[in-house]
Amino acid sequence: MSRLDSHIQQKIAQRDSINLAARWLAGKDGVIVEFGLSTGRSYSHLLERFPGREIFCFDRLDKTHPRSRPPAGHLFLGEFTDLLADAALQARFAGRVILAHIDIGSGGPEDEVIPELVMDRIAHWLKPGALVLSDQDLTLQPAWQMERVVTAGEVEHAGRYNVYRRRTP
């Protein structure tokens, strides 16, 4: 398969996973966080599918397209390792998140480390039943209380995007 076809498949799976999350999380309280805003393509889709929901974004650089720019106070700029070490930020989001979108793959060696580091730092942000969508396959740690969600039949190219759920007590 060409890299172009592979990329297209992953984007279809990403879009379908966001759509699925919007259906499953309808009527459930909580904010959304997105790690990896870049120019804001997936952010624009989250905005469409979760109207009225607060979405907070994280990236090292502000590369946003003018049509996909988070409002004031909703964009955190810096390295994830630095941002997620901030005690005030940790306290602010603890127990408030219903959906986390982690779209931070670069194709480099950091893909082996950073997605799980982010997940480790935000696991306690998730409400019971919250979903995590990730471009990288995460090795789940018991402390995170997460399980993989099988989306075959709901998401086209389901194996190309990873969906996890925070267990309910």
By CB under 6 A, name the binding residues for ligand SAM.
36, 38-42, 59-61, 79-80, 103-106, 114
Is 82 or 147 the residue whose CB approaches ligand SAM more closely?
82
Name the minimum Å distance from CB 36 to ligand SAM: 3
Give me the least distance between CB of 90 and ligand SAM, in Å please. 16
**Proportion of the chain in helix, strand, coil states, percent, rounded to 5:** 40, 20, 40
- 124 and 158 Cβ atoms separated by less than 8 Å: no
Could you tell me the CA-to-CA distances from 112 to 87, 129, 136, 137, 147 in Å, in that order? 25, 26, 9, 10, 20
In the three-class reduction of DSSP (H, G, I as helix; E, B as strand; rest coil), residue 53 is classed as coil
Residue 105 or 129: which CB sits closer to ligand SAM?
105
Closer to ligand SAM by CB, 79 or 147: give it: 79
Other CB atoms closer than 10 Å to residue 105's CB: what's the count?
15
Shortest separation between residue 56's beta carbon and ligand SAM, angstroms: 14
Nearer to ligand SAM, 113 or 150 (CB): 113
In whole angstroms, the minimum distance from the beta carbon of 95 to ligand SAM comes to 23
Edge to edge, the sheet with strand 146-148 lists: 75-77, 55-59, 31-35, 97-102, 126-134, 162-166, 146-148
